[in-house]
Chain A
Amino acid sequence: MTRPLVELRAVSKQFGTVRALDGVDFSVQRCEIRGLLGENGAGKSTLMKVLYGLYAPDSGEVRVDGEPVHIASPRDSIDLGIGMVHQVSTLVPEFNAVENIMMGGEGDSFTLPVAAVERRIRELSDDFGLEFPLDAKVKGVSAGVKQKIEIVRALYRGARLLILDEPTTSLVESEFVQLLESLKRLVTRGVTVIFITHKMREVMEACDSVTVMRKGRVQSSLGRGEMTKERLVKLMFLERDIDITDSALPNVTVKPTKRSARPLLELDTVGAPGLHDLSFHVHGGEIVGVAAVSGNGERELAEIIVHPRNITSGEIRVDGASVNGLSTLDVFAWGVAFTPEDRVHEGVLNDGSIVENTLLGHHGEARFVSHRGFVRWNAVRQATRSVISEYNVDTPDETLAIRRLSGGNMQKSIIGRAFVSDPRVLVTHNPTSGLDISTVEFIFERLVRMRTEGGAVLWISEDLDELMILSDRIVVLHGGSIAGEFDRDRFDKVAIGLKMIGG
């Protein structure tokens, strides 16, 4: 074996009381695509941020080309030929691709060699199949294009090692195939790729070798020949006795229930900005999944149900009554509850206490607010305490600022809040994204319980695997229209996936 390109030895990193990395040894050979696999919170991103100079390790050593190096900042790692593409775009939205790529690198204070830079960018994108418009402002382009720009930027700065953090999060299927193609070309030209992911399939399709992490430690590294799904799943979830099926999914059984005769939520040829002629319904005792690749009207769908004033045509009915023209609070009063997609930005009052957060959305209910407009804080506190105990929200008490909760606990309190007033209809958007498997399981069980008790659940998600476990039906949204509807006995991943990407 030749000397590895990059080697991390016994690297540890602690955040507060959490051991994010615990004596990690990790090395990468030249010219391979190395998968870095693990659950959320396994330490993948932290490890790579140490390598990229964003975090200083508490102990341990980094070697590049066999030489010990000190990486104090991304500037150092770029000089060593390491480039990183983050999960969230770091491009300047108001700049075009060329301006973004040359930012911080080219020319002196007074000149900008734009033509030369453009030439070089074109060469790189032609070579590796990473085409994108050079002069369009970045804010207008898709996530896939942004990613290409970021990869070219890293290459432009001379990256020999490219770290991709969850690169497929916002890509559609065709973009994933393209990305894979480009990565393979990069490897033949001497670039090494580290591919951070928690998706089994991507590892199997993209990677020459894989390192599996769990709870801040490296479980094992496997070569191409040794990789099997069963083995990888075992490594990812060692002590958990879960079914070794397709991937890491919670084990929740869904018993048949009797669905209500009348639908609790109906959309009747609803049109709105970004949505065309949507018609479907959700009965009581039913979970209906909405499958969509992000950006196909799923946000608008969630929004139109809780903000029905924006409807331009058609009608939304809750338990038979039209909600067109109602305010959000009136919709809630009709028995609809909602959990938004982005829990930090839309779901919580960050600096507010858990108590204040519990009131959000219930601040029109007589139970919590007197008719003179005074808040009954005692009742709110009591409701908060029951949410905390019933949903196992891990917090010292209910006065804690909600931003200090972990993602999972924050989401549990959001879900708990949705159920405070026994809704008949729940609209929930990506409730499990970024959560560990036990929390996902908890949320699944709550949804199933609502179904058992006769409630209607509309569950919008881009994770088809998850949708297929729980849904009684799946409605596929593509381009703001319904592209297909599948009953549970006709669930077929390929067929549904195809509809999602417009096939």
Chain B
Amino acid sequence: MGDIKRKFARGVLIYGVSIGLSLALVLAVLALLGYDVGRAFTTLFFTSFRSAFGFRETIKKAIPLMFTTYAFTIPFMIKFFNIGGWGQMLFGGTAVTVVSLLLAPVGLPAIVLVPMLLVVGMAAGALPAGVAGWLKARHDINPIISTIMLNFVAFYTVNLAATADRFKDPTAGHPITIPLPAAATLGTWWGIPQSILGAVAAVVFVHLLLERTRLGYEIRAVGYNENAARTYGINFEKTILFTFLLSGALAGLGGTFEVMNIHGKLIEGFAKTSGAQYGILGILTSLVVAGNPLSVPVAAFFMSVLLVGADSLQRVMQVPVEMVFVSQAVIVMSVVVLRTRLSGKGR
């Protein structure tokens, strides 16, 4: 048990120092620029908790962010980079839009349509990620390259769908589709998107899969030591393919929820918040938890608190929202450096 205690103490140290450091930096800059530091501090950290609106906004951002964070974290367990979480999200959102608009005349009830669309969205996210995984497993193509390329494909697929005569909103000056049929959208509970249920289910599923199942064990084993895993009969190629399919499905589900629950239609550039893509933010968040999937929901929530705080800072005090991206980047770098130093690998 000594090991666990030590790990916990180490974690507290790492995150405490990192958050403190980045906060000190941001506040110092704000002080130099003549802002009210105390107010900036409370705005940044407590906007999420001071009003129902702030809290709802935080949850709204945390859900998609959690999905893209998973999308990066799971392949990262076996040391591969899925840079395509964003694209997989776009694919998911596009697929549900197209399918629900095509099926609109049929008039399926929500009870049938919604589960079907969730599956479609996950499949659409899993497909490009699976291609990247397959290219790695079969042809040894670096997934960084294939997933980045597929992001472009995804981006233009959104454009294609949102500008197609059949789907586009003729009154909009931007590539946007007509709204989804009501049966294909999700509502809110007290302003909190119903997709929260899907997010919770995803957390439980990922947790159980990784901690309790043989598949999860095999993924972790490959991550610890690929050679030993192979030597003792774990199929490396299958593991790569599976992790990419899973991460793509989760990102796709994130995109699906964005379309079905937030926008109600497909909008070019929808997978963004405060001007930053969820894909990049997901990578950032994943680095904070160093590829530990169990901490993803917490980290995604924390990052969303900062994002909401940042929006508020901009609105209330005219502090540019980018200031918070700087602070997030400092946290990531500080966490990575401290973790390396403390584990003795940095020497």
Query: Interface of A with B (CB < 8 Å)?
Result: 306, 327-329, 331-332, 338, 340, 345-352, 356, 359-361, 363-364, 369, 373-375, 377, 396-397, 399-401
Interfacial chain B residues near A400, Cβ < 8 Å: 3
Instruction: List A contacts of B217 (CB < 8 A).
Output: 356, 359, 363, 375
Residue in B closest to A377 when the chains form the complex, CB atoms: B212
Which residues from B are CB-within-8-Å of A331? 233
Kindly list chain B residues whose C-beta atoms are within 8 Å of the C-beta of A375.
212-214, 216-217
Tell whether, in the assembled complex, residue B213 and residue A349 are in contact, meaning their CB atoms are under 8 Å apart. no
Instruction: Output the nearest chain A residue to B212 by Cβ-Cβ distance.
Output: A374
By a CB distance below 8 angstroms, the chain B residues around A328 are: 231-233
- CA of A364 to CA of B214, assembled, Å: 8
16 sample A-B contacts, Cβ–Cβ < 8 Å, listed by A number = A306-B231, A327-B233, A327-B235, A328-B231, A340-B231, A346-B231, A348-B225, A349-B221, A349-B229, A356-B217, A361-B233, A363-B233, A363-B234, A374-B213, A377-B212, A401-B3
Complex contact B214–A369 (CB within 8 A): yes
Bits for B45-58, please: 1 = Cβ < 8 Å to A, else 0.
00000000000000
Whether B214 lies near A374 (C-beta < 8 A) is yes
Please state if B2 and A396 are interface contacts (CB–CB under 8 Å).
Answer: yes
Chain A nearest CB, measured from B208 CB (Å): 8
Q: Contacts A345-B227, A351-B224, A399-B1 known; A373 to B233 CB distance under 8 Å? A: no
B224 touches A352 (CB 8 A): yes
For residue A348, which residue of chain B has the nearest CB?
B228
B264 to chain A, nearest CB (A): 38
For B233, list chain A residues within 8 Å (CB): 306, 327-329, 331-332, 361, 363-364
Query: What B residues does A369 contact at CB under 8 A?
Result: 214
**A363: chain B residues within 8 A (beta carbon):** 214, 217-218, 221, 233-234
| Complex interface bits, B1-36 against A, C-beta within 8 A gives 1, otherwise 0 | 111100000000000000000000000000000000
| Cross-chain contact B228 with A349 (CB below 8 angstroms) | yes
Complex Cα gap A95–B36 (Å): 59
Closest to A342 in B: B227
B220 within 8 A of A: yes
Whether B178 is near chain A, meaning CB under 8 Å from some CB there, is: no
Shortest beta-carbon distance, A287 to chain B, in Å? 22
Which residues of chain A come closer than 8 Å to B213, judged between CB atoms? 373-375
Is B215 on the interface with A (CB-CB < 8 A)? yes
Q: Are A356 and B220 touching (Cβ within 8 A)?
A: yes
Task: Determine whether the beta carbon of B2 is less than 8 Å from that of A360.
Answer: no
> A338 vs B225: C-alpha distance in the bound complex, in angstroms?
17
Of all chain A residues, which has the CB nearest B216? A375
Q: Is the CB of B215 within 8 A of A373?
A: yes
Counting chain A CB atoms within 10 Å of each CB, the highest count among B218, B224, B235 belongs to B224
Known: A327-B233, A349-B228. 6 other contacts (CB 8 A): A338-B232, A340-B231, A351-B224, A352-B221, A373-B215, A397-B3
Complex Cα spacing A364 to B232, Å: 11
* Distance of B97 from chain A, by nearest CB (Å): 34
* A contact residues around B220 at 8 Å (CB): 349, 352, 356
Query: Given the complex, which residues of B lie within 8 Å of A401, measured CB to CB?
Result: 3
A350 and B214 contacting across the interface, CB-CB below 8 Å? no
Q: Which chain B residues border A373 with CB–CB below 8 Å?
A: 213-215
Contacts of B4 in A (CB 8 A): 399
Name the CB-closest residue of A to B232. Answer: A361
CB-defined contacts of B216 to chain A, threshold 8 Å: 375
Q: Which 3 A-B pairs have the closest CB atoms?
A: A328-B233, A349-B224, A361-B232
State in angstroms the CA–CA spacing of A350 and B79 once bound together.
15
Known: A327-B233, A349-B221, A352-B220. Contact between A360 and B228, CB under 8 A? Answer: yes
Instruction: Kindly state the separation between the CA atoms of A290 and B55 in the bound complex, as whole angstroms.
Output: 68
List B199-241 residues whose CB lies under 8 Å from chain A: 212-218, 220-221, 224-225, 227-229, 231-235
- For the complex, what is the distance from the CA of A492 to the CA of B1, rounded to whole Å? 52
List, in ascending order, chain B residues with CB within 8 A of A364's CB: 233
Q: Which residues in B have their C-beta under 8 angstroms from that of A352?
A: 220-221, 224-225
Given contacts A349-B224, A359-B217, A374-B214, contact A399 B231 (CB under 8 A): no
Task: Give chain B residues whose Cβ lies under 8 Å from the Cβ of A361.
Answer: 232-233
Residue of B215, B227, B233, B235 with most partner-chain A CB within 10 A: B233
Q: Which of B145-179 contact A (CB under 8 A)?
A: none
- Separation in Å of the B8 CB from the closest CB of chain A? 13
Give Cα distance in the complex from A340 to B224, angstroms: 17
Cα distance A257–B235 in the bound complex, in angstroms: 39
- Would you call A349 and B214 a contact (CB within 8 A)? no
CA distance A198 to B170 in the complex (A): 84
Q: Which residues of A contact B218 (CB under 8 A)?
A: 363
B99 smallest CB distance to A (angstroms): 31
Q: Is the CB of B225 within 8 A of A345?
A: yes
B231 proximity list for chain A (CB < 8 A): 306, 328, 338, 340, 346-347
Instruction: Report Cα–Cα, A16/B210, bound state, in Å.
Output: 35
A333 to B213 alpha-carbon distance, docked (Å): 19
Alpha-carbon separation in the docked complex, A397 to B4 (Å): 11
* Distance in angstroms between the alpha carbons of A364 and B234 in the assembled complex: 10
In the complex, residue of chain B having the shortest beta-carbon distance to the beta carbon of A327 = B233
Asked if A347 and B228 make an inter-chain contact with CB atoms under 8 angstroms apart, the answer reads yes
Q: How far is the CA of A332 from the CA of B231 in the complex (A)?
A: 11
- The reply to whether B3 and A399 contact each other, CB–CB distance below 8 Å, is yes
Contacts of A345 in B (CB 8 A): 225, 227-228
Bound state CA distance, A375 and B221, in angstroms?
Answer: 13
Chain B residue, CB-CB nearest to A345? B227
User: Given the complex of chains A and B, what is the CA–CA distance between A306 and B1 in angstroms?
Assistant: 35
> In whole angstroms, how far apart are the Cα atoms of A442 and B324 in the complex?
59
Q: Which residues of B contact A348 (CB under 8 A)?
A: 225, 228
**Nearest CB of A to B241, in Å:** 17
Q: Which residue of A lies closest to B218 (CB)?
A: A363
| In the complex, chain B residues whose CB is within 8 Å of the CB of A360 | 221, 228-229, 232
Known: A360-B232, A400-B3. A346 touches B214 (CB 8 A): no
- Which residues of chain A are near B224, meaning CB under 8 Å? 349-352, 356
In Å, the complex CA distance between A401 and B6 comes to 12
The residues of A that contact B228 with a CB separation of less than 8 Å are: 340, 345-349, 360
**Contact indicator B225/A349 (Cβ below 8 Å):** yes
Nearest A residue to B2, CB-CB: A396
